Amino acid sequence: MSSEVYDCIVIGAGIQGSCTAYQLAKNKQKTLLLEQFVLPHSRGSSHGQTRIIRKSYEEDFYVQMMHESYELWAQLEKEAGVELYKRTGLLFMAPENGEGFSRLKVTLQRHKIPTVFLEKQEFSQHIPNVNLRDGYGALIDTFGGVLYADRALRAVQRLFQSSGGVIKDGEKVIDIAPGAVVTVTTGSGVYRGRSLVITAGPWANTLLTHTGLQLPLKVVKINVCYWKEKIPGTYSVGQRFPCFIEMEPKEGQYDIYGLPSNEYPGLMKVCYHMGSETEPDERDKQTDTGDIDILVRYVTRCLPGLVPVPAVVESCMYTVTPDHNFVLDSHPTYGNIIIGAGFSGHGFKFGPIIGKLLSQLAMGQVPSYDLSPFRIQRFQSHPRSSL
Ligand SMILES: Cc1cc2nc3c(=O)[nH]c(=O)nc-3n(C[C@H](O)[C@H](O)[C@H](O)COP(=O)(O)OP(=O)(O)OC[C@H]3O[C@@H](n4cnc5c(N)ncnc54)[C@H](O)[C@@H]3O)c2cc1C
């Protein structure tokens, strides 16, 4: 074991761990970022070319965090000298008189988020080639858009290293010994840190076992489906087609979302916002395609310009909490172990602000937002949590 003691060790170089490590290094903390796979990899939750970014949430706390997250993404773009965000607008479609849509509208108005409300009769003029369901309302969050995910992850890791941070990839953490100085053992080394941040995505509970904690997290495999445009360009970024989310679609229990064709020319990404449970190390053994059946029916009804058979299917994982809110907290027993987990399929856009919050916790500072919605305490009555 080396005598070197890091100010902080971060486990997991997905978007949350990488952003946290970067914030720590920027704050002059001697930081080690450990990753089990050789980087870049496609086995967790942060790979792939694109993610949706938006300010439009029903909950005030997410809207507030997204205000700052947009600023931090812009700052990252400047620091890295690369484009990470493409503004396309985000179309929301939802039952017009439903609770979710009403809450969303109220929150958007309260926070003065620039929004365009589309009346049924003008919908197809603004959004051609999309069938809006009867009884559904539509609005556009004009700041919604696409984040270039792979590029962002690489940029943050590069910035971390150029700020003095150390990345060791291909090093799987196999043991954690809590204490005033935490000892972390990987397959090829033993490292010590005054604080530890666990941002292990789908593997969060595997690592937390070493600390006597289990969270009520469900890991699901997402079939990431790309659909061929019948006429190339119909739903493209170039044609200013927006990202979209349909709440309460007729075809399934969870939202369906899509991004304009971009990364694969002529192919549009449309996905179901839930999947079937899986073990993170055995993701590809999960072969359920129930979500694809839902999407085929949805594409047939709603997106007539797409061939209703997926042309490309990739895999990714969500780590879902019972209330779909994140876990951003200190370990209930070991105050110098910080946990960022359960990003429930919507955490990428928050990466920079989550990095800031987790780094504040790791440095023993008061976090700059009220973290009560993200506390571990809220799971106390849940059967799978052991606090
Ligand atoms: C298909 C799909 C679409 C999505 N769309 C959106 C979207 O449009 N907008 C949005 O905001 N979010 C979206 N998300 C969610 C977002 O991508 C995730 O919330 C985010 O990437 C989670 O990042 P993470 O760092 O927590 O996890 P991960 O990216 O999984 O990172 C965890 C890392 O920890 C490493 N690790 C685990 N165990 C160990 C160990 N023992 N030792 C060392 N390293 C370890 C893993 O290898 C991994 O690299 C989407 C997710 C998916 C799957």
**What's the total number of domains in the chain?**
2
Is 311 found in the same domain as 230? yes
ipTM score: 0.99
- Residue 385 above 60 pLDDT? no
Q: Which atom of ligand 1 is nearest to the CA of 16?
A: 25
Contact 224, 46 (CB under 8 A): no
Is 312 found in the same domain as 253? yes
Q: Which atom of ligand 1 is nearest to the CA of 12?
A: 34
pLDDT digits (tens, 9 = 90+) for 350-370: 999 999 999 999 999 999 999
Mean pLDDT along residues 195-224: 98
CA-based nearest residue to 245, from 325, 145, 314, 154: 145
Is 235 found in the same domain as 137? yes
* Number of Cβ within a 10 Å radius of residue 323: 13
Structure confidence at residue 263 as a pLDDT band (50, 70, 90): confident
Is 225 found in the same domain as 307? yes
Structure confidence at residue 381 as a pLDDT band (50, 70, 90): low
Q: Is residue 242 part of a domain?
A: yes
Is 291 found in the same domain as 269? yes
| pLDDT for residue 380 | 82
* Number of Cβ within a 10 Å radius of residue 33: 29
Is 281 found in the same domain as 224? yes
Is 158 found in the same domain as 126? no
Task: Provide the b/e sequence for 226-249 (b: ≥16 CB within 10 Å).
Answer: bbbbeeeebbbbeeebbbbbbbbb
Distance 263 CA to ligand 1 centre (A): 19
Structure confidence at residue 386 as a pLDDT band (50, 70, 90): very low
- Residue 384 above 60 pLDDT? no
Which of 343, 344, 353 to mutate to test ligand 1, by most ligand atoms within 8 A of the CB atom? 343
pLDDT digits (tens, 9 = 90+) for 150-187: 999 999 999 999 999 999 999 999 999 999 999 999 99
Mean pLDDT along residues 264-277: 96
CA-based nearest residue to 267, from 316, 220, 221, 314: 314
Is 313 found in the same domain as 249? yes
Q: What tokens appear for 277 in the block?
A: 């449970």
Taking the C-alpha atoms of residue 278 and residue 198, their distance in angstroms, rounded to an integer, is 21
For 357-374, the DSSP string reads HHHHHHTTPPPSS--GGG
Q: Which of 320, 335, 358 is the last residue of a domain?
A: 320
Q: Is residue 10 part of a domain?
A: yes
Is 122 found in the same domain as 270? yes
Taking the C-alpha atoms of residue 88 and residue 143, their distance in angstroms, rounded to an integer, is 7
Distance 16 CA to ligand 1 centre (A): 7
- Residue 105 above 90 pLDDT? yes
* Measured torsion, CA atoms of residues 145, 151, 153, 158, in degrees rounded to the nearest 10: -140
Based on the residue annotation, tell me whether 50 is a catalytic residue of this protein.
Answer: yes
- Residue 382 above 60 pLDDT? no
Q: Is residue 31 part of a domain?
A: yes
Is 359 found in the same domain as 268? no
| pLDDT for residue 3 | 78
Mean pLDDT along residues 55-79: 98
Range of the domain at 231: 90-142+218-320
Average pLDDT over all residues of the chain? 96
Q: Looking at ligand 1, which residue's alpha carbon is closest to its atom 5?
A: 51
Residue type, position 24, single letter: L
Domain containing 349 — which CATH number? 3.50.50.60
Q: Which residues line ligand 1 (CB under 6 A)?
A: 11-17, 34-37, 43-46, 51-52, 172-173, 199-203, 207, 222, 224, 271, 316-318, 343, 345-349
Is 107 found in the same domain as 160? no
Based on the residue annotation, tell me whether 211 is a catalytic residue of this protein.
Answer: no
Domain containing 307 — which CATH number? 3.30.9.10
Percent of the chain whose predicted confidence (pLDDT) is above 90: 94
Is 312 found in the same domain as 186? no
Q: Which atom of ligand 1 is nearest to the CA of 43?
A: 47
Q: Looking at ligand 1, which residue's alpha carbon is closest to its atom 33?
A: 12
Residues 6+ apart with CB under 8 A from 154: 40
Q: Is residue 83 part of a domain?
A: no
